[in-house]
Structure 1
Amino acid sequence: MEDELIASDGLSLRRKSLLPGTGFFYPDSLDEDRADERVREAVADAEVVVVADTDADGLGSVALIRAAYDAALDPDPFLEKLEARLESDDEGEIEPDDPETPDAEDVVESPLADPEAEDDLPSSSVAVVGAGPHNIEDALERVAEFAPEGIDLYVCDLCPDRYEYVEDELAAAVETAGSVRWFDHHQWGDAVAESVREAGVDLVVGESDEECTADVTLRSMEYDFPEHLAELAAVTRDHDLWLKEDPRSDDVADFAYWTDPETYVSVVGVAGPDLPPVVERYLAHRREEKEQLIEKAVGRAETHEVGPWTVGVTYGRCSQNEVAEAMRERGCDAAVIVKPAGSASIRGTETFERAHEVAGQVNGGGHPKAAGCKPDIYDDMLDYAHHWTTEGATTKRVILAAFERVAERAAEEDEAATVEAEGDAEETADETAAVSEEETPDAGPDGDAGADHVVTGTDEDDEDGA
């Protein structure tokens, strides 16, 4: 098959919005082989290895660690590559995985991820190994297998749901490394944190509503960081905690989103949050296409009344948060964005906080207002072909059916709550009546109800009549 058939940089905007990215067409086995090879090459001569989330927070932490080890790279070769791509308008595939769906929407294919393109790029003695919250163990396993013995190992901006998920791989990495430090700011379970520490790891976890991982790294490393890196941590926090007080935070977040880890770390390691002009031009170019893809998805949206909710449903390769917000502004209680790769994002509002329940019905999960799923309905490429040519018709139908089931459950819960409330009210009334009877004085021999104890007026009346 010709490479051009799965490359999307030459497609019209409409076709690009209907088809998945290039990475979708790579088999998992090939991805695993390529990941092995890349990690092997990255860590072969490393003195330090950082396993990090590839968002701005995780990669910002890598930049700080490189500075502490005096291993920052000259960003000029990376910026020259970026300039060349911008001039040729060769967008490539730089779409990251959707962190809120169980399966990757698209595999990240950075413009600088081609091994041939990397031949003339510098490398650092502090290697970065990208990972996500659901594949920490894979990254640790590769480090244990390929990294030299005695390295300093860091893990940044990652939190395992359960210790059992990383137990064996972490033990192997600890055995390979000379030291292991783990910096994070997510909410850790006490048992998980204790187990990680008992494995021989120096774990530092910051307050999730006050610090980002770059903050934790900044205060945990015994190094006097320059002002531009302290500022990078502050700007990263502004985005990661959704404070939205510094306009530069959107820039660093989008730059990390749309480029490869080495380029991001090298550039911000020297520039901090004040990105070079070529990066600003690149972001503006990417945002233009991003907005156009959002408009395409919003234009395809349809609404459905499901139980008490108005559900907006659309299809396309797009930024789901902005599309969901547009649907909310149109009066939707919930939004479903079906992606070309077969997964879907489900977003809620103040009037719909059951997104995780819907996703749970169709091979997914998440949070009350943000969840993801990938219905188990794709058996072969014909199913995917139908998916692309019908704009996700089957997936939409399956997810709407899940909404129906959740609506039925919600109605049953409301009915049960009403019956329980009515029962509680009746029980309270009966108890009140019983108490009233107990407090009513017994009638005297002449049938009077204990007149000596009956108050017939106010306190003032009683005093006047005394």
Structure 2
Amino acid sequence: MYDELIESGDLPLARKSVLPGTGFFLPDTLEEDLEDQQTEAALEGAEAAVIADPDADGLACVALIREAYGDVQNIPEPDEAEESDADAQSEPVADATDDADAENVLPAGEADAPLEEPEPTPHTVALVPASPHDVEDALARVAEYGDEGIDLFVCDLAPDRYEYVADELAAALETADRIAWYDHHQWGDDVAAAVREAGVDLVVGDSDEECSADVVYRSLEYDFDPLYEELAAVTRDHDLWLREDPRSDDLADYAYWTDPAEYVEVVREYGVDLPDWVTEYIAERRVEKEALIEQAVGRAELREIGGYTVGITYGRCSQNEVAEAMREQGADASVIVKPAGSASIRGTDEFDRCHEVAGKVNGGGHPKAAGCKPDIYDDMLDYANHWTTRGAVTKRVILDAFRDVVEEADEDAESDAGDN
């Protein structure tokens, strides 16, 4: 396949909005081999490892743990950072995910530059990026490449079922001296119990009150500088979609657009008040981001389901801003279907069962913010239909899940009323 067929940098926005990024078209085996090499390099001589979602919340956890271990800081110079980013991402990426999505890290289909070089300087605390869909692979890599007796942290990730990670977690426990798991997502009681019984120190925060960085901040026995307390607070502002501090959007976008290693070291040096060279970079990238948001909002439709108004749209975009636009149009909940096949689900005070909807279509998350990727794509023809119909099948499947959740809630309410 010619490179120009999968590179979307020069496409008109209207076309770029409906197609996945370059990473979608790369074979899994190629990506897995490179991830093996990167993880092996990162873990060489490391005292600890952090498996984390590489969004702002997960990376804040890495920053906190590195600080607690006294890890060296590799602060990029502005010129070096710009050159590194130009090499890593040859075209703009106009989305910013957050840890409420089931895809947590950017799905391969959304990434324009999914293959990044290993961190330039070895760290005492190695970063191993992962998503909820491949946390078991990250655990297996630490088990294979980590030094005997390494400390292992898993942050901002929640397995839907224990059996998904059981074997890999057991292998990691044989290599690691201890495993601590810090998160704030919705955990099933049986999954949490099984993880703890395996020998893991699991701490799960209230998903309505804390982000994962909050959990790490209060769980580590370390006297952090106030810079890190503020980092956790501002990260929480975006992660829980409070939007009371404008700096939180900067953190979220920067974490998405730059290399994870760079983000960690920059926030360790500067905290939440990012330097001018970073804010200028963010401003440049937001021009296209806003244009793609407009494309997705323009496709939005409102559907009535069981007394709720559900907004639904399709596009390569920043889901939170698009969901907010649909809320302003009257939506009690919003669905943003992505070209890669995944979808983000956002709720409001009127609808707080997003995680239940996502759970019915291969996903999970929070009551008011969740993500999923319906298991409906058998071959490339299904994806071709997905792009040309602007996600018609995915929309139908998720709207059906909404109907099921609303009907079940109504039945539960009637049952409770009868009992009373």
TM-score (norm 2): 0.82
Counting only pairs closer than 5 Å after superposition, residues 290-329 of structure 1 correspond to structure 2 as: 290-304=289-303, 308=307, 310-329=309-328
> Within the alignment, does 1:60 sit opposite 2:60 as a pair?
yes
Distance 1:108 1:271 in 2: 29
Cα pair 1:365 1:371 within 8 Å, conserved:
yes
Q: 1:54 touches 1:261 (CA, 8 Å); kept in 2? A: yes
Closer/same/farther in 2, CA of residues 199 and 331 from structure 1, 3 Å limit = closer
- The aligned runs of 1:268-347 (5 Å cut-off) are 268-304=267-303, 308=307, 310-347=309-346
**Which has the larger Rg?**
1
Shift of 1:245: 3.7
295-304 or 232-241, which moves further after superposition?
232-241
Which blocks of at least 5 consecutive residues in structure 2 are unaligned?
none
How many angstroms does 1:297 deviate by?
1.1
Q: In structure 2, what is the equivalent of residue 12 of structure 1?
A: 12
The residue that corresponds to 2:101 in the other structure is 100
Q: Displacement of 1:218 after TM fit?
A: 3.4
Q: In structure 2, what is the Cα distance between the partners aligned to 1:369 and 1:209? A: 9
Are the structure 2 counterparts of residues 175 and 79 from structure 1 closer, same or farther at C-alpha, using a change threshold of 3 Å? farther
Whole-angstrom distance in 1 between the partners of 2:197 and 2:374:
39
Following TM superposition, by how much is the alpha carbon of 1:29 offset from its aligned partner in structure 2, in angstroms? 3.0
User: Structure 1's 88 and 336: CA in aligned 2 closer, same or farther, altered over 3 A?
Assistant: closer
Residue identity in the other structure for 2:23: G
AA in 2 matched with 1:56: A
SS in 2 for 1:58: helix
> Which string of whole-angstrom CA distances, capped at 9 and with x for unpartnered residues, describes residues 333-356 of structure 1?
443333212333344455556656
Question: Separation in 2 of the partners of 1:80 and 1:191?
Answer: 47
Q: Map 1:189-200 onto structure 2 (within 5 A).
A: 192-193=191-192, 195-200=194-199
Which deviations, in whole Å up to 9, do the C-alpha atoms of 1:301-356 show, x marking residues without a partner? Answer: 23455665554432211122322222232234443333212333344455556656
Structure 1 position 158 matched with structure 2 position 160: no
Mapped to 1, the partners of 2:111 and 2:206 lie a distance apart of 33
The amino acid that maps onto 1:258 is: W
Residues 352 and 367, structure 2, Cα contact 8 Å, conserved in 1: yes
Paired residue secondary structure (1:178): strand
Aligned twin of 2:391 = 392
Cα distance, 1:78–1:29 mapped onto 2, change above 3 Å: farther
Calculate percent identity across the aligned residue pairs: 63
**Tell me, which stretches of 5 or more residues in structure 1 are unaligned?**
425-466
Give the Cα–Cα distance (whole angstroms) in 2 for the partners of residues 134 and 88 of structure 1.
23
CA contact (8 A) 1:340 1:392 kept: yes
Is the Cα–Cα contact under 8 Å of residues 100 and 371 in structure 1 kept in the other structure?
yes
C-alpha separation between the residues in 1 aligned to 2:398 and 2:206? 36
Contact 1:110 1:259 in 2 (8 A): no
Counting matched residue pairs gives 418
* In structure 2, C-alpha distance between the alignment counterparts of 1:366 and 1:237, rounded to whole Å: 15
Amino acid at match of 1:239: H
Equivalent residues in 2 for 1:51-450 (5 A)?
Answer: 51-77=51-77, 80-82=80-82, 85=85, 90-93=90-93, 100-101=101-102, 105-107=107-109, 109=111, 113-115=115-117, 121-186=120-185, 192-193=191-192, 195-206=194-205, 208-304=207-303, 308=307, 310-349=309-348, 370-397=369-396, 399=398, 409=407
With normalisation by structure 1, the TM-score equals: 0.74
* Contact 1:185 1:206 (8 Å CA) reproduced: yes
Q: Distance in 2 between matches of 1:342 and 1:175?
A: 36
- CA contact 2:46–2:125 (8 Å) conserved in 1: yes
- How has the CA–CA distance of structure 1 residues 45 and 109 changed in structure 2, closer, same or farther, with 3 Å as cutoff? farther
Query: In 2 relative to 1, CA 220–316 (structure 1 residues): closer, same or farther, beyond 3 Å?
Result: closer
Q: Is the 8 A contact 1:96 1:257 kept in 2?
A: yes
Distance verdict in 2 for CA 1:372–1:196, change over 3 Å: closer
Q: How far off its partner does 1:189 sit?
A: 5.7
Q: CA deviation at 1:197?
A: 4.4
What is the letter of the counterpart of residue 297 of structure 2? Answer: V
Mark the CA change 1:112 to 1:349 in structure 2 (over 3 Å): closer, same or farther. closer
Supply the distance in 1 between the matched residues of 2:395 and 2:221 (Cα, whole angstroms): 52
